[in-house]
Structure 1
Amino acid sequence: MANRTRRTVKSQDRIPKAVDRAMDKQLPSNGHIEPGISVRMGPVEKLDGDAPLTNGNNNGKRKSRGSFPNGKTYKDNSTSGEEDDIPLSKRRRTSQQTKKVQDSDSDMDDIPLAVRKPPKATAAQIGASSDSDTPLTERLVKEKESIEKAAEKTAQAIRAKEKAAGAKRKAKVESDSDDDVPLAKAKKPKVPIKKTANGVKKDDSDSDVPLKKKVTPKKTKVKAEPATPAKKAKGKAVKTEEDQAVEDEEEEYRWWEDPTKGDGTKKWNTLEHNGVVFPPPYEPLPKHVKLVYDGVPVTLHPDAEEVATFYGSMLHSTVNVENPTFNKNFFEDFTTYLDKTGHGKDKAGNTIKIKKFDKCDFKPIFEWFEAERAKKKALPAAEKKALKAEKDAAEAAYMFCMWDGRKQKVGNFRVEPPGLFRGRGEHPKTGRVKKRVAPEQVTLNIGKEAKAPEAPAGHRWKEIKHDQEGTWLAMWQENINGAYKYVMLAANSDIKGQSDYKKFEKARELKKHIDRIRKDYQKDLKSEKMADRQRATAIYLIDQFALRAGNEKGEDEADTVGCCSLKFQHVTLKQPNTVVFDFLGKDSIRFYDEVQVDLQVFKNLKIFKKPPKGEGDDIFDRLTTSALNKHLTSYMPGLTAKVFRTYNASWTMARLLKDMKAVGSDAEKVAAYNAANREVAVLCNHKRTVAASHAASMEKLNERINGIRYQVWRTKMMMIDIDPKIKKKKGAEFFERPEDLDEEWIKKHQEAVVEEERTKTQKKFEKQNEKLKADGEKEMPDKELKQRLQVANDLEKKYKKENKTGKVEAEGKGPTVDKLDTKIQTLEQRIKTMTVQAEDKEGNKEVALGTSKINYIDPRLTVVFSKKFNVPIEKFFSKTLREKFDWAIKSVDENWEF
């Protein structure tokens, strides 16, 4: 791929002192201005100069990406989990913030991004009290300062400890060398085994011994106790001690305790698998379903018809079919297929040339697909279950592989079916046809001694490899971007777990060096050498404001940029030290951020944008991503720009959790955890736009809370029904109905409750009949359903009577005032729990907590919180994530430190 032509305007090799002095005169003379947090997604203010241009998106408008028709996407497994969604790194706080924080209203969703930005972070969003005496931004500035100071002290302490340990070992070696006994024959003194914070025993004496020479921990086996012989159960095989030992070894294999596992290049010795699953061949549409062109139904060649179905089946995805780029790209590719196959034919067999997209009517195709989807959805549960079981049985052989003799789950063993490429954000190739992948395009990776799986009948594999340095099982090249797709092991496999483990360990290693890195780039911000000053400024922006490093793109790739590839138009400067970034970032998603920077950084950016530079010129013209990362490796092996996001998120979370005192119910403790996670998002720039469904979701949750409040009021009225005198004892105020639950709301709520009861009864009846039918038994008659629905009818009558009389009769067996009082307490606790959840959900609407928790915050910190405050890990990690982070859950206790 040809790289884009770069402008020839380049910065001077060195920065004359006269230029520095001239810039200094333009800066405030009243001392240093403290950089603050970014106001990304904050309210738009009129700029002093021209508004920044967004590359490839000059009108500033971007439609949000909708869901895929089938609810699934195919993710390239070669892409690291670290490069997910929105970038992470630390932000600085705004020291002066005079404008009030605005709330996000649902009616803002239709306003283009160029015109508005979602509101600034509120106190509630980061778990702070909104009525605190200390202004939010001031509090965050102080918190950021304390976090960075703690990082500096920690780094210095670690290096001092390592230096002292090294000196101690050196002295010991010198002492041993004076002995008469040869060193090779000298008896090694015993060193007491200490238990580290993470609960794993470690010998301090070998902390600096090269990994190659360290003793590899053996797989843990659970000792079988000498118990009495097991009694033989009827029809069941009795496990021998050997069988149990094998099972125990499988269960207790703890690769994360093996420091040498995964080092070097050889990833496996033996590898067996059954290849990949290809999508089924195309089935032509029924003869009565056709594309209509200029009012005439046309018959297409199967190849062209298949492409027409790609578009016709997704007319409901308006975010795509209303996108001009999507339609243009689709029709260009569709026309290519039509030209190859002779276009269409009408009823009489005459050729119909399809030349204009506007004359194509895909509705008949869409309606047929909608009908098919409805049929599938309406299938009885037993039939759905049978179809799934049939599919699972057909794919069972592909779901697992044997990796060094251990059974490992395979991740994406299905080859992606053909369709239309969506892309993310404003991708220039959206709408292009993704071609069907043939076995001749697929390369398999398998052990030399293993039998290669058979290719589908009439086909052959492209190649069979034995790449022991690779962790992939199969690969092929897709036609849209020319990228390679890989079949990898599942997220909960040993290999994937080791990848995550090493990623977070690398971030932990960075904490030893972060103070030196920050000190060095602060010094180089004033370097006379342009290359050094540009590199220091870039590292500052990456560390403080989460900019990705960025790479050069090919001509036909999306015009996305990062820090090193920022151009003149992507950065707008506002005196005295505000910088506005506006560009298309990863996945063609717009990155807009307005930040306050160090005065020296502001001055440097002015120098980097100095005339004759103009639109299209690189700001960091003497810096490349590879040069930046090469410089970073001088501090520690393997350090790259993206490690800063993981480190900053994990270190910030660790500092917040260290001083946290979560109390109350599990829901309140989870809310406290999420508040800390939100603060990480604000400090480390991990935000998202409000989901379109958020308002409806919150309304539904609030309705549920109001429904319980209504139950509380009805229960209090039942107390009066049992004991009319209690109203005087407890006071009339206790029995008053909440003002917002007026008569109109009550009637609507009652109708909804009755309808819900009817629907629930109907579904339960149908499900039971399906089971009876599947078991070959006689189904229940409609009379039974009618009797069951009487419960809903009785409830409807009861509500009508209550509304008419204003009285509520006591319900339940043997109701008493004490029982009803206990019921009220239970309901009020539910209200409290759900209110906490609602507030937490509202606070999370602009924060991508899931992404940060999974990809950037070390999962062991979540485990520490879970164990420290006795909250089930299920509250934080789903079943899939618990499998993915099994190593984290089992490897640390509550005292572990990042």
Structure 2
Amino acid sequence: MASTSSDDDMPLARANGKLSASKISAAADRKMDQNASKARPGPPGLSIRNGPVVDEDAMDVDSSSNGAPKRKSRVSIGQAVNYKDQSDSEDNAPMAKRQKPNRKQVDSDSDDEPIARKKTNGAKLPPSIKETEKDESSDDDRPLGVKFAQKKADIEKAAAKEARAIKAADAKAKKPAPKKAIKDESDDEPLAKPKKRQSNGVSSAAKKTNGVKKEVDSDSDAPIAKKKTAAKGKATVNAKKVAVKSEKEESKDNSAAEDEEEEYRWWDAPKKEDDSIKWTTLEHNGVLFPPEYERLPKSVKLYYDGKAVNLDVRAEEVATFFGSMLHSTQNVENPVFQKNFFNDFKDILKETGGARDQDGKPVDIKDFKKLDFTKIFEHYKGISEAKKARPAAEKKAEKAEKDKFEAPYMYCKWDGRKEKVGNFRVEPPGLFRGRGEHPKTGTVKKRVMPEQVTINIGKDAKVPEPPAGHKWKAVQHDNKATWLAMWQENVNGNYKYVMLAANSTVKGQADFKKFEKARELKKHIARIRADYTKELKSEVMADRQRATAMYLIDKFALRAGNEKDTENEAETVGCCSLKYEHVSLVEPNKVIFDFLGKDSIRFYNEFIVDRQVFKNLKMFKKPPKEDGDDIFDRLTTSQLNKHLSSYMTGLTAKVFRTYNASWTMSQLLQKLPVNNITVAEKIKLYNDCNREVAILCNHKRSVGASHEATMEKLLDRIKGLKYQKWRYKMMMLDLDPKLKKKKGAAFFELDEDLTQEWIEEHQKFLVTEQQSKIQKKFEKDNEKRLAEGESKLPDKELKERLQVAKELEAKFKKENKTKKVEAEGKGATIEKFEGLIEKQDERVRNLELQVADREGNKEVALGTSKINYIDPRLTVVFAKKFNVPIEKFFSKTLRDKFNWAIQSVGDDPTWEF
């Protein structure tokens, strides 16, 4: 995979003509149009998510052999040499200079990966809040028309308009104001000096905090005599205020000393001069290692060819890794998982003296299929079930003991502040699973020892003690690093870091900077798009490839992609690393992508593109290129990001992705019809917008195995509410039979979906549920009595309590027979039951919204975009503006993580991305 800038050292494939020509002639450009269909091209920027194209003959390249776009399937990706060398025999080509590939390893989070902003699924704007039917799937067969293309264009136009407005504002701010020297009769100095402009181009009279202007008092227009008097009066008032303030601050400091967990509002604190210094003092207690392995009972053995075998403790532990997870069939039945485990298991056996039978004779374990882990699995299953069956008091006591043991590791002192540590536990040994079809799945993850761990801590802090008999690999004092401990795992050779928790100051500041940088991109996005549109026709192949990649990243959310060691990592690709077989072209301007993206999730999509982009891709796939060859052979991710940084300091592809997601969400939220609707309907609308952004970012997931069961339960709950609503109506008739004539017979009829068979099944469920609640309450009361030293309640008490369920069962039987329902409850009135019916209607409506929401989300992961790509302040502003509790959008964990957003936006609903 090595490559240099010398033609002599150029990879063989490229030397043989696999590298695209460095310069494009006008004739070659025109030739790409010769085979074009006369059919009118569709509007560019459209995504068609309706499965593989049927008309395969229309493709100039057929790579749709993977069948239906099922997310969990895997495409066959060619094992080819990485052709990222920029050298070429055409030295006279107008290339600035040959570019070397960047071999730097990229973090798995792909911080340098770019994204698009335009919607790729062709979904409509969030459906009307008055609709309760299920949302259409993102993979429906609905054709995408010009209307959707216009919607996408509108969002882009809004971005361009915003960029022009910002540019104009900046230009106006930079323009020097005319100087006026107004002299006082008694003073030769100018009365008013020109105001000093702030760094953001806003005068001192209007300072900004998170984009919200705060007016500052100004008396520049007052006569000088009044100014002095006002200043004197102000000084007196200010002196009093300072005195009062100092007293308040002193009391506040005292309370802070008592409560060291007082909130640190870093977003209001002055910015540090040296941002690279992360901390001045750092204290922590190291990491928590997993407990030592406990040997299996003598009665529990691994069996080979029907015979029990004895193993060394280390080999036995590895055997339990596999045996304890037999329930995870998607792993243990995976041939790659089995192969990798068995290879490592045999290596451990060699190191530990092998296996022996009950007579002490050696057993040669060489066939995986003869291994039987059943006894091991049953042993651990029994332990698990016994733990679950323990009394609640015992579980509670164990948790309290565990929390007490872990408490010293949960927090650290960061610049004197108490900060929560994220992952202080060292991962226990086991079997590596990986994501997708990782080639190393099943490999043994070895136990991490203290001798592998490096500690990062303050110079003056006490270094935590390693476990007895061990020592740390190293201790360092790097105040530019944000990790507390680090080690290297054995499977992929990756480094693992102990970091602060998501709600910590450091993590919050990182999030804030990320989203602020994305907001800054608003100033440059119009120019970036104009430039790459122009370069789509560049004579220089490297420039044309870069412009085409930027188009795809911008419009269709393709990730940039990074170079990988395909022998050790899953064969995932992105835009810059696309191979010949990943792209199929259908005249006149349809492009079909089919490849494994991040986390081995299959990216299958059909796009209608600009005709020039189609021509370019056709050129990049020009023979003699074939399967395994790079499409963008003169472009790397590092080169793309370097180009992006020329527009804006620190701009990378992932910043681009964050901007696109947040800007799209902002535009969608602004257009929502949220007047005169319920909170549940507002939440549904918000989730619809979030879904569109998630689809834009290709945050797809396979439909969960429990989805259908969950939906069935929700629909049953809706039926149950409708049944109870009908019972309330019948109770109204019991109180006043004349209501049937007043309200009409139709009002008292059963819903069509409530059959007598379903009603009887539902009644049985209600009786069983009542019995279960009584049983649990009885057990809980007994546990409480035992904890307080009292005797248990007699069984007679339980029978008396269960009588309520029997009475309910008898009532249902009578109702089924007489078709009448007697009014229940004290003080039963018509008005009371009408109120209960209204509540049931509201509950039904809310559940129907949940059904539509869940159906729409079954193949879309909303969390990733909401947590990582959508500026949380957009959600906070939406919640505050429309009086929706923030808890409806952010869990407790997310509220802690995004506390800076919740607090910094405050009560101002005018904040904009």
Q: TM-score, normalised by structure 2?
A: 0.85
Residue pair 1:535, 1:628 contacting (<8 A) in 2 also = yes
1:401 Cα offset (Å):
0.4
CA distance in 2 between counterparts of 1:93 and 1:386 reads 51
**Other-structure match for 2:909:** 894
**Other-structure match for 2:356:** 345
SS at match of 2:615: helix
Q: Residue type matched to 2:156 in 1?
A: E
Residue pair 1:92, 1:141 contacting (<8 A) in 2 also = no
Decide whether aligned partners of structure 1 residues 635 and 547 sit closer, same or farther in structure 2, where only a CA change above 3 A counts.
same
CA distance in 1 between counterparts of 2:488 and 2:455 reads 13
SS at match of 2:700: coil
Decide whether aligned partners of structure 1 residues 77 and 781 sit closer, same or farther in structure 2, where only a CA change above 3 A counts.
farther
**Other-structure match for 1:120:** 139
Decide whether aligned partners of structure 1 residues 64 and 276 sit closer, same or farther in structure 2, where only a CA change above 3 A counts.
farther
CA distance in 1 between counterparts of 2:455 and 2:403 reads 23
Give 1:280-295 correspondences, 5 Å limit: 280-295=291-306
Give 1:568-607 correspondences, 5 Å limit: 568-607=580-619
Q: 2:642 aligns with which of 604, 625, 630?
A: 630
Query: Given the alignment of the two structures, is residue 7 of structure 1 paired with residue 22 of structure 2, yes or no?
Result: no
CA distance in 2 between counterparts of 1:855 and 1:530 reads 34
**Other-structure match for 1:26:** 35
Residue pair 1:92, 1:596 contacting (<8 A) in 2 also = no
Q: 2:513 aligns with which of 482, 502, 512?
A: 502
1:400 Cα offset (Å):
0.4
Query: Given the alignment of the two structures, is residue 524 of structure 1 paired with residue 535 of structure 2, yes or no?
Result: yes
Query: Given the alignment of the two structures, is residue 47 of structure 1 paired with residue 56 of structure 2, yes or no?
Result: yes
**Other-structure match for 1:235:** none
Residue pair 1:42, 1:119 contacting (<8 A) in 2 also = no
Residue pair 1:439, 1:462 contacting (<8 A) in 2 also = yes
1:62 Cα offset (Å):
7.0
Give 1:442-591 correspondences, 5 Å limit: 442-554=453-565, 555-591=567-603
Q: Residue type matched to 2:666 in 1?
A: A
Query: Given the alignment of the two structures, is residue 796 of structure 1 paired with residue 801 of structure 2, yes or no?
Result: no
Q: Residue type matched to 2:30 in 1?
A: R
Q: Residue type matched to 1:90 in 2?
A: K
Residue pair 2:324, 2:380 contacting (<8 A) in 1 also = yes
CA distance in 1 between counterparts of 2:658 and 2:196 reads 40
Q: Residue type matched to 2:139 in 1?
A: K
CA distance in 2 between counterparts of 1:540 and 1:23 reads 19
Decide whether aligned partners of structure 1 residues 735 and 356 sit closer, same or farther in structure 2, where only a CA change above 3 A counts.
same
Q: 1:153 aligns with which of 152, 161, 182?
A: 161
Q: Residue type matched to 2:620 in 1?
A: F
SS at match of 1:712: helix
Residue pair 2:301, 2:308 contacting (<8 A) in 1 also = yes
CA distance in 1 between counterparts of 2:879 and 2:894 reads 14
Query: Given the alignment of the two structures, is residue 658 of structure 1 paired with residue 664 of structure 2, yes or no?
Result: no
Residue pair 1:93, 1:137 contacting (<8 A) in 2 also = no
1:648 Cα offset (Å):
0.8
1:639 Cα offset (Å):
0.8
Decide whether aligned partners of structure 1 residues 122 and 411 sit closer, same or farther in structure 2, where only a CA change above 3 A counts.
farther
Decide whether aligned partners of structure 1 residues 92 and 390 sit closer, same or farther in structure 2, where only a CA change above 3 A counts.
closer
**Other-structure match for 1:129:** none
**Other-structure match for 1:674:** 687
1:275 Cα offset (Å):
0.1
Q: Residue type matched to 1:163 in 2?
A: A
Q: Deviations over 1:700-739 (max 9, x none)?
A: 1111111010001111111222222221221111111112
CA distance in 1 between counterparts of 2:499 and 2:765 reads 48
Give 1:208-247 correspondences, 5 Å limit: 242-244=253-255
1:631 Cα offset (Å):
0.6
26-35 or 674-683, which moves further after superposition?
Answer: 26-35
Query: Given the alignment of the two structures, is residue 90 of structure 1 paired with residue 118 of structure 2, yes or no?
Result: yes
Give 1:283-322 correspondences, 5 Å limit: 283-322=294-333
Q: Deviations over 1:647-696 (max 9, x none)?
A: 11100111122232313221111111112222333445443332222111
Residue pair 1:78, 1:486 contacting (<8 A) in 2 also = no
CA distance in 2 between counterparts of 1:486 and 1:872 reads 35
1:264 Cα offset (Å):
2.7
Count of aligned pairs: 825
CA distance in 1 between counterparts of 2:669 and 2:346 reads 59
Residue pair 1:62, 1:425 contacting (<8 A) in 2 also = no
**Taking every aligned residue pair, what percent have the same amino acid on both sides?**
62
1:27 Cα offset (Å):
2.9
**Other-structure match for 1:618:** 630
Decide whether aligned partners of structure 1 residues 62 and 369 sit closer, same or farther in structure 2, where only a CA change above 3 A counts.
farther
**Other-structure match for 1:647:** 659
SS at match of 1:836: helix
**Other-structure match for 2:77:** none
1:37 Cα offset (Å):
2.5
Decide whether aligned partners of structure 1 residues 354 and 63 sit closer, same or farther in structure 2, where only a CA change above 3 A counts.
farther
Q: Residue type matched to 2:570 in 1?
A: A
**Other-structure match for 1:233:** none
1:521 Cα offset (Å):
0.4
Q: Residue type matched to 1:269 in 2?
A: T
CA distance in 2 between counterparts of 1:700 and 1:94 reads 30
Give 1:417-436 correspondences, 5 Å limit: 417-436=428-447
Residue pair 1:537, 1:604 contacting (<8 A) in 2 also = yes
SS at match of 2:175: helix
**Other-structure match for 2:879:** 866
1:241 Cα offset (Å):
5.7
Decide whether aligned partners of structure 1 residues 165 and 63 sit closer, same or farther in structure 2, where only a CA change above 3 A counts.
closer
**Other-structure match for 1:168:** 176
1:17 Cα offset (Å):
1.2
Decide whether aligned partners of structure 1 residues 24 and 365 sit closer, same or farther in structure 2, where only a CA change above 3 A counts.
same
Decide whether aligned partners of structure 1 residues 256 and 678 sit closer, same or farther in structure 2, where only a CA change above 3 A counts.
same
**Other-structure match for 1:815:** 828
Q: Residue type matched to 2:911 in 1?
A: W
Q: 2:716 aligns with which of 703, 710, 713?
A: 703
Q: Residue type matched to 2:855 in 1?
A: E
1:173 Cα offset (Å):
12
1:744 Cα offset (Å):
0.6
Decide whether aligned partners of structure 1 residues 180 and 656 sit closer, same or farther in structure 2, where only a CA change above 3 A counts.
farther
CA distance in 1 between counterparts of 2:67 and 2:341 reads 23
1:488 Cα offset (Å):
0.2
Decide whether aligned partners of structure 1 residues 174 and 376 sit closer, same or farther in structure 2, where only a CA change above 3 A counts.
farther
Q: Deviations over 1:871-894 (max 9, x none)?
A: 110010001100000000011121
Query: Given the alignment of the two structures, is residue 383 of structure 1 paired with residue 394 of structure 2, yes or no?
Result: yes
582-591 or 564-573, which moves further after superposition?
Answer: 582-591
SS at match of 1:417: coil
1:341 Cα offset (Å):
1.7
SS at match of 1:342: coil
CA distance in 1 between counterparts of 2:208 and 2:307 reads 79
CA distance in 1 between counterparts of 2:297 and 2:107 reads 39
SS at match of 2:523: coil
Query: Given the alignment of the two structures, is residue 140 of structure 1 paired with residue 140 of structure 2, yes or no?
Result: no
**Other-structure match for 1:842:** 855
Query: Given the alignment of the two structures, is residue 265 of structure 1 paired with residue 276 of structure 2, yes or no?
Result: yes
Residue pair 1:90, 1:544 contacting (<8 A) in 2 also = yes
1:259 Cα offset (Å):
6.0
Residue pair 1:320, 1:422 contacting (<8 A) in 2 also = yes
Q: Deviations over 1:148-173 (max 9, x none)?
A: 0010011011011111111226x669
Residue pair 1:90, 1:645 contacting (<8 A) in 2 also = no
673-682 or 354-363, which moves further after superposition?
Answer: 673-682
CA distance in 2 between counterparts of 1:258 and 1:80 reads 29
Residue pair 2:571, 2:600 contacting (<8 A) in 1 also = yes
CA distance in 2 between counterparts of 1:717 and 1:481 reads 67
Residue pair 1:583, 1:590 contacting (<8 A) in 2 also = yes
1:92 Cα offset (Å):
5.3
Q: Deviations over 1:37-88 (max 9, x none)?
A: 222464653423464278xx899887589xxxxxxxxxx997549699x976
Decide whether aligned partners of structure 1 residues 862 and 457 sit closer, same or farther in structure 2, where only a CA change above 3 A counts.
same
CA distance in 1 between counterparts of 2:182 and 2:637 reads 48
CA distance in 2 between counterparts of 1:433 and 1:58 reads 34
Decide whether aligned partners of structure 1 residues 872 and 459 sit closer, same or farther in structure 2, where only a CA change above 3 A counts.
same
CA distance in 2 between counterparts of 1:754 and 1:623 reads 68
Residue pair 2:45, 2:555 contacting (<8 A) in 1 also = no
Residue pair 2:160, 2:525 contacting (<8 A) in 1 also = yes
